[in-house]
A = this chain, B = another copy of it.
């Protein structure tokens, strides 16, 4: 039986271990952090993941979807909070289609527990990858509890070790390795709003809440424990920015001016706000994703995206499924399998990365840009008139169509919308 090492027991590493174990391989997973099931997360962070159609499909294929579904809150649309407190509801689909909000920790724990039921999967925690020898697929590990350094070798290594991947860092020095890391000029800080006095969610729990303010925004996700996680997205520098809101007074002033409807809920939960780091958002692209038939990058390690589209985990899960298909189609010929996988998937992940950057702007401008809102109105009308006319968001979130195909269709739709909008203007002018 071939030995496979996976670096990283995050969402993608855990699910990949299941896929590979079921394909008949012996899998060892090394994770630098502690077992998330044994520690009490006191980081004050509560990252939300959204799962949608393609994510569930990839979980379903290995029987992992049911345990995950229990931890999710269905979300049927967005509720926009205008500056004057007015609320606008935008459903994601016309037939109560939902995306699913889940805590990253909950999802991670569930996947590790699910994977551990397979006898050919072994997890080792607190094992930091400090070096890799690519040609021999040998990993140098340091036990972060004991300091002990060991070496492990396998037939192949899969690096699901995240955006700051030490494995990719080694591959970056290879000749002709293309690589880019691009940070957004904005970052975010999280504020947790506990359940209300009646022990329930303080907002409608079946929606994502957005306070779009053009160049900045607040966004809120429901949690299973009836709390809400708010993320305050601001530029790092400038008039309204993380820099300019370093003091408590400045934060109060920001909320009272731009988010007055939520200030009373936010105020009691700002105690550690100024000490929290600003979370950065980065887009990482690289190619190739593989080193010979020995090492393959997967997940954020080769295509980290900004979180605005809620597709990171979904794409990562889909990748586990696609990769396993490529491996099974070329039994024993790993180089061909890796080449096929990376060639098939790279264009889609590039499209998704760019869509995420664009969607970050779209979300911030959801209220206030009349031209944009006019186009959205036309889009919804077209959808109602013709059920085959699906929005980009719909095709990304509620189908398993490739991201490239979704973009191709979107371009045709946008052309149509432009023509209609132009005709509308002409009609208005002539009236």
Contacts and interface: CB of A to CB of B under 8 A. Distances in A.
A198 interface: no
Contacts of A177: 181, 183
A176 interface: yes
A180 interface: yes
Stoichiometry (number of copies): 2
B183 A180 contact: no
Interface in A267-315: 280
A121 to B, nearest CB: 32
A241 B178 CA distance: 20
Interface in A171-200: 172-173, 175-183
Contacts of A179: 179-181
A182 B183 contact: no
Q: Which of A164, A177, A178 has the most CB of B within 10 A?
A: A178
A350 to B, nearest CB: 13
A251 B179 CA distance: 32
Contact of A183 (B164, B176, B181, B183): B176
A236 to B, nearest CB: 8
Contacts of A183: 175-178
Interface string A249-267: 0000000000000000000
Contacts of A180: 179-182
A236 B178 CA distance: 15
Contacts of A236: 176
B181 A178 contact: yes
Contacts of A280: 175-176
A223 B201 CA distance: 77
Nearest to A175: B280
Interface in A20-35: none
A280 B178 CA distance: 12
Contacts of A164: 173
A80 B138 CA distance: 52
Interface in A145-180: 164, 172-173, 175-180
Nearest to A185: B176
Contacts of A175: 183, 280
Given A172-B181, A175-B183, 16 more contacts: A164-B173, A175-B280, A176-B183, A176-B236, A176-B280, A177-B181, A177-B183, A178-B181, A178-B182, A178-B183, A179-B179, A179-B180, A179-B181, A180-B180, A180-B181, A180-B182
Interface of A: 164, 172-173, 175-183, 236, 280
18 contacts: A164-B173, A172-B181, A175-B183, A175-B280, A176-B183, A176-B236, A176-B280, A177-B181, A177-B183, A178-B181, A178-B182, A178-B183, A179-B179, A179-B180, A179-B181, A180-B180, A180-B181, A180-B182
